[in-house]
Homo-oligomer: A and B are copies of this chain.
Amino acid sequence: MQNIKMTISYDGTNYCGWQRQNNAMTVQQRVEEACTKIFGKASFVTGASRTDTGVHALGQVATLQTDTTIPIDRIPYALNAALPEDIVVRLAEAVDLEFHPRYGAKQKTYQYKIINARFPIPQWRNYAEFNRRPLDLQKMQEAAQYFVGTHDFKAFSATGGSVKTTVRTILALSVEKQGQMIILTVTGTGFLYNMVRIITGTLTDVGLGKISPEEIPRIIKSKDRIQAGQTAPPQGLTLLSIEY
């Protein structure tokens, strides 16, 4: 029996997120269907990150236990032939049986895109948030630095999560502008549910002048979800990579 680590890209537009559900199509189900077809027996995969409906991935990671004789470097091609074109397996690697994609993750990087212009760009409607009000890039960059470090991010977590601790470490958070697009890139050792989208919504409020950059430490310390900004919409978010 081999443990296969797969790196997977997908366009989340047409899926109800990663995780298998009874009554809705998900990326995990499509990947399992392809594995079942290619490996000839019922297959179940374990994903690293439960991305939400409409959220995208360049480097989701999932594992599969299989006794296939297909050479490992051919597995992406075999699976891609059985997958719809909005899901692509980019890499398959043999890993220890003990390797777990979620518990073994050392850091994850997400990207959030905002089109900041008078009018939306139709080609980006499923891949970026649109905001017609001018955002102050420099203020957003100033505010971003206050998130870096180890903090209790309870104020930046959707309610209802059942995690042991809401302390997380953000290693880097950058805000850049490319043409009409503002791009947030955040790397951390782990993230709470909706944390990147709530940080984005809060930085958007900073960009609009509703919150000053210096207020961020107070909002973090409050541990109060109401003090932070809104949850930015899912389509702007992409899981870029996971490091082990």
B-binding residues in A (CB < 8 A): 9-11, 56, 58, 76, 80, 85-90, 118-123, 125, 127, 238
The A contact surface, by secondary structure, is mixed
A-B CB contact pairs (8 Å), 12 listed: A9-B119, A9-B121, A10-B122, A11-B122, A11-B125, A56-B123, A58-B121, A85-B120, A85-B122, A85-B125, A86-B125, A90-B118
Question: Nearest chain B CB to A42's CB is how many angstroms away?
Answer: 25
Residues of B within 8 A of A119 (CB): 9, 76, 80, 88-90
Task: Given contact pairs A9-B123, A11-B125, A80-B119, enumerate 11 new A-B contacts (beta carbons under 8 Å).
Answer: A9-B119, A10-B122, A56-B122, A56-B123, A85-B120, A86-B122, A88-B120, A88-B121, A88-B122, A90-B118, A123-B238
Question: Nearest chain B CB to A64's CB is how many angstroms away?
Answer: 18
Residues of B within 8 A of A125 (CB): 11, 85-86
Bound: A9/B90 CA distance, A: 32
Bound: A85/B80 CA distance, A: 30
